[in-house]
Amino acid sequence: MPTPLISLWRGYRDATLILRVTLALVLGVVVGLAGGPTVAEVLAPLGELLMRLLKFIILPIVLFTLMSGVNQSRAGSLGRIGRKVFLYYLVTSALAIVVGLGVASLLSPGEGMTLDGAGSVSVPDNPGILSVVLGIVPDNIVGAFADQDLLGIIFTALVFGLGVARLRQSESHGELGERLYGLIEALNAVTLKVMGGILHYVPVGVFAIVAGTVAQQGIQTLLSLGDMVVVLYVALGAQLLIYLGLLKGFGVPARAFFREARTPMATAFATQSSSGTLPLTLDAASRLGLPRSLYGFSLPLGATLNMDGAAIRIAISAVFAANVMGAPLDLVSMLQIVVVGTLISVGTAGVPGAGIVMIATVFAQVGLPIEAVALLTAIDALVGMGCTALNVTGDLVGTAVIGRSEGERIDSDAEPQAASQGDAS
C-alpha cells in the first residue's frame, strides 16, 4: 500500500511537464504577490538551484549533440544549413525591430511622462561585432568551457566533430574513428538521461523564480509603467503571428510544434535566460524529429546571437524614450534603429547586461537620452520574461522551418523522439 507521499510523487511524476510548469507559473505569481520580499528571499535558493542545474548540463549536451550531429550529416550540408541559419536570424531580427516600431508608433507608449527621477544607469561597454567574431575562436578551450562561452563551445564541437568524421573515413584510422564516435554517442545518451532527471526539478525552480520576480517587482511597478509593458507584449504577440505564418508557409504543423515548444517557452519566460533554457529547447527539437546536425548547431547559436524579443524591446524602448522627450521619431531615425539594432543584437552577444547595452547603443546612435534607460530598468524583469520566451520560440521556429527546407518531416501525430526522457515529460 503506497504512502500518501509516494502517491503524491507518482502523480507529480506522471503529469506532463508543461502541466507542472504551468501550475508552477500560476502558483509563483500568487505566492509572490501575497508573500512579498520575504518570500523572494526564502525561495531564492530553489530558483538558483534550477539555474545551476540547467547551466551544469549545457556544456555536455551542446558538445556531444553537435559532435554527434556533425557525424550524421550529409556531405556538403553543413555549409548550406549554416547559411540558412544565419540568414534566418538576420532577417527575423530586422523584422522584429520593424514590428516593434510599428506597434509602438500606433500605441505611443510614454506619452505624457517625464524623465524626472529617472536616475542614472551604468552601461557596460559594447565590444562590437568584430570582437564577437574573433571571440568565436577560443584562445583556451578549458577557459571557454569554464566560462560557458557558447560560441567557443560550438566552434570546438564543430572542429573536433569534423575531425572525428575525417578519422572515420581514413583507411588507416577508420576503426579508431568508429570507436571514438561510439564513445561520443554513449556520452550523448548519458547526458540525455541526466537531463531527464533535471526535468523533474524544473517546475519547482520555475515556481521559486516566478514568485521571487513577482515579489520583487510588485504591482506598483507594473501600474507605473503599464503602458510600456502592454505595448511590448502586443508587439511580441504580433511577432508570434509572423512565426505562425512561417510555420504554415513551410508546412510545419503548428499544433505539433507548440506541443513540444511550450515547455521551453514557459521555462524561458520564468528564468529569463535563453542559454539557461537551452537544454529544454534542444529536447523539444529532438522530440519534433529534427536532425541533431541541425538543432545541435542552430539552437546554441540562436541562444547566443538570435534575440528577436530583445530586438522588439529596442524598438519599443526607442519610441518610448522619444515620446517621453516629446519628440516622436521620424522615418530616418526609425531606419537607423532597424539597421543599428539588427547589428547590435549580434555585437552584444554574451555580454552581461546585453539588453541595456543594446538599448543604450541605439539611443546614442539616434540621439535619445541615456537617462531613459534607467527608467526602463524598473520593468526589466517584467519585459525580459516575454522577450526571452520569444527569443527561444524564434530559435525553434527557425530550426523547424530550415529542417523542412532540408526535406525533414514533422508529423503532427508522431511520437516524441526523445524516448529516453519520456518519463520526465
Q: Show the domains of the chain with their CATH numbers.
A: 14-424 (1.10.3860.10)
Angle at 364 between CA 362 and CA 365, to 5 degrees: 65
pLDDT-derived band at 420 (thresholds 50, 70, 90) equals very low
Q: What is the pLDDT of residue 281?
A: 94
Higher pLDDT, 391 or 324: 391
Q: Please, which contacts does 8-17 make with residues 24 or more away whose CB atoms are closer than 8 Å?
A: 13/200, 13/423, 16/425, 17/199, 17/202, 17/203, 17/263, 17/424, 17/425
Q: What is the pLDDT of residue 127?
A: 53
Mean pLDDT highest for which of 162-176, 253-267, 330-344? Answer: 253-267
Mean pLDDT highest for which of 14-18, 76-80, 167-171? Answer: 167-171
pLDDT-derived band at 264 (thresholds 50, 70, 90) equals very high
Mean pLDDT highest for which of 10-14, 153-157, 221-225? Answer: 153-157
Euclidean distance between CA atoms 29 and 11, whole angstroms: 23
| pLDDT score of 92 more than 70 | yes
pLDDT-derived band at 345 (thresholds 50, 70, 90) equals low
Say if CB 76 and CB 292 are below 8 A apart. Answer: no
Write down the mean pLDDT value for the chain: 82
Helix 292-305 to helix 278-287 angle (10° resolution) is: 150
* DSSP line for 108-153: -TTTT---TT----PPPPP-HHHHHHHHTS-S-HHHHHHTT-HHHH
Say if CB 338 and CB 98 are below 8 A apart. Answer: yes
Mean pLDDT confidence for 397-409: 89
Q: Cell 536532425 sits at which residue?
A: 291
What pTM was computed for the model? 0.80
| pLDDT score of 371 more than 80 | no
Say if CB 254 and CB 244 are below 8 A apart. Answer: yes
| pLDDT score of 29 more than 50 | yes
Q: Cell 553543413 sits at which residue?
A: 78
* DSSP line for 190-242: HHHHHHHHHHHHHHHHHHHHHHHHHHHHHHHHHHHTHHHHHHHHHHHHHHHHH
Beta carbons within 10 angstroms of residue 122's beta carbon: 9
